[in-house]
Amino acid sequence: MSHSASPAINLRDITVGHGQAAPMDFRNLRYFVEIVERGSMKRAAESLYVAQPALSQQVKKLEEELGVKLLARSVRGVVPTEAGRELLTRARLILDQVHDARQVIQAGSRDPQGSVVLGLPSSVSAALSGCPGEGLRA
């Protein structure tokens, strides 16, 4: 019996609420967190190696999608609104979980984990343990 692979889930296909599309992705969340942490679109754009207008456009799309203002903008920079602080908290959790999952999965494929128990005759185990007067001979 053959099993066919499940189709990949595209976040753009997930619906929320009343059938509204949910195109939010990890990149948008990462951008938003960086903007808030840097306190400036310009500094976030430099840190992310993204053009500032493109970054501003991503935030605008995110605000339109969620139907709320996420950032209060001024000549001194940006600060999150109440909704922005809520998104910031949740975005950090999501991004941390994605990072942790990646680390665990990658470590599991590279580094075997667990215990290995060997049963050895006492003469061999004594030689390996470095007991004085005993050693391995060829």
Q: How does DSSP assign 45-58, residue by residue?
A: HHHHT--HHHHHHH
Greater pLDDT, 106 or 12: 106
Q: Are 117 and 69 in contact (CB under 8 A)?
A: no
Q: To the nearest whole number, what is the mean pLDDT of the chain?
A: 79
What integer is the mean pLDDT of 10-17? 44
Give the DSSP H or E segment for 15.
strand 15-16
Q: How much is the pLDDT for 8?
A: 42
Domains (range + CATH), the chain: 11-112 (1.10.10.10)
Q: How far apart are CA 93 and CA 138, in angstroms?
A: 58
What integer is the mean pLDDT of 62-70? 93
Give the DSSP H or E segment for 86.
helix 82-110
Model-wide pTM > 0.85:
no
What integer is the mean pLDDT of 50-73? 94
Q: How much is the pLDDT for 14?
A: 41
Q: How much is the pLDDT for 9?
A: 38
Task: Decide if pLDDT at 53 tops 90.
Answer: yes
Q: How far apart are CA 55 and CA 46, in angstroms?
A: 10
Q: How much is the pLDDT for 43?
A: 96
Q: How much is the pLDDT for 20?
A: 52
Q: Are 63 and 49 in contact (CB under 8 A)?
A: no
What integer is the mean pLDDT of 47-64? 94
